[in-house]
Structure 1
Amino acid sequence: MIFKNAKINAFRTWGLLLTMLGMGLMVLGTAGIVFFGQAGKIFAGIGLVFGLIMMMGSLGIYFWAGMLSTSAVQIQCPECSKLTKMLGKTDRCMFCHTILTLDPSQANITAEELEAQQTKA
């Protein structure tokens, strides 16, 4: 249950991961010049290009998550009583990770039954 997260937060996590990987590739690419001298310029160019591509991917993911966030339904979590945003029929609270649903047919089942239904689909 600790690794389950809200959908919007999952998108933001992937964006952050791409940002960190992109920056890491850029730093390692530039370090190629220090370690390999003139031959490291090719390594640096490759690292900088792939790092830039990852950073652009991160920008796209953050933009997409932001657009999803503006159209998400805001509801109050029954567990922690905080306002959270929900995407789709079922989602998790951004704060306490409680499973939330707007679908009345799924409202009275346990978390294990809901997860079993989601893995089947």
Structure 2
Amino acid sequence: MMAAVSDPIALRAHLEGLFQRCGFKMPQGHAHAEDHLSTLLYLLGVIRHRQHKALAQSSQTDPQEFEQLETLFNFALKHHLLNWAPAWIEKAHSSAQSVFYKVVFEMLSAVLDEFRAKE
């Protein structure tokens, strides 16, 4: 579970561990500790992409692989994103000076609401 981590080295280690548990490597050249929201969204996207790829090859797809990916997606979503991101997004939205960022935070909030509704 994602604890409040202010140490960038500890946060990077946490994110690397999460990616490793999910069977992936973190992308290179990204400030993961400074922007772990996009890193987690990237991980969720990679998992979904693998699921869709598996469905496209349905005759060769192992149902257990698809379910394992779904379990990983739900775990990362529930324990590493939904437990802190909604409050952070709300705070960022109220602090945003520009309409652009307010809309970005509203869209992100709507996406997370959709994920939460499917739990």
Q: TM-score, normalised by structure 1?
A: 0.37
Name whichever structure is richer in helix by fraction: 2
Name whichever structure is richer in strand by fraction: 1
Q: TM-score, normalised by structure 2?
A: 0.38
